[in-house]
Amino acid sequence: MSAKAIVDPKLDLVLERTVDVPRHLVWEAWTKPEHLKEWYCPKPFSVSKCEIDLRPGGMFHTTIQSPEGQEFPYTGCYLEILPEQRLVWTLALLPGFRPAPRHEFATFTVILTLESVGSDTKYVATVMHIDESSRVKHEDMGFFEGWGIALDQLVAHVKTIQQS
């Protein structure tokens, strides 16, 4: 059984919204590479590569590409998977729970929780940072705007899945 994240406002950033798409499709958008590539980062950035090994210790890898073609690869490790309810991953570990080399964003862990609210989904993304300066830097880089835009893109993408 998973414990609820205890949010520390000095270390954590939280994006919480209720979105008008079903929980199972939000889960699919987060766990299938062909869907994640469509919404994961604010446009005009894109995801040029995505690999998902959806199991504890499995790999979560994305390569984000800027409009100018610069690539930003990130590899992390899944820690917990409760289908359609909770997804926990970190960039502090590599697949197989191996310690990751420290880099700018290798210091955070994401806890994504999904809850059905009628036909909608309560979406809570908690991003836990190693220290206050990392949290402040992530917030100053536009966490709320960027993660909010990505969530809007996820919802729009899920609506196209619903129509097909």
Do 88 and 71 meet the contact criterion of CB atoms below 8 Å apart? no
Q: Give residue 1's pLDDT.
A: 42
User: Cα-flanking dihedrals φ and ψ of residue 148, to 5°?
Assistant: -65, -45
Task: Name the region of 50 (left: φ>0; alpha: ψ -120 to 50; beta: rest).
Answer: beta
pLDDT at position 3 is: 55
- 46-52 β-sheet, strand order: 12-19, 120-129, 108-117, 86-90, 71-82, 59-65, 46-52
Mind listing the domains of the chain with CATH numbers?
A: 12-163 (3.30.530.20)
Q: Is the pTM of this model over 0.75?
A: yes
Q: Torsion angle of alpha carbons 141, 146, 147, 150, nearest 10°?
A: -150
How far apart CA 73 and CA 13 sit, in angstroms, is 22
Q: What is the pLDDT of residue 38?
A: 96
* Both tokens assigned to 132: 């206050």
pLDDT in tens, the chain (164 residues): 455 668 999 999 999 999 999 999 999 999 999 999 999 999 999 999 999 999 999 999 999 999 999 999 999 999 999 999 999 999 999 999 999 887 665 678 999 999 999 999 999 999 999 999 999 999 999 999 999 999 999 999 999 987 76
Enclosing H/E stretch for 156: helix 143-163
pLDDT at 2: 55
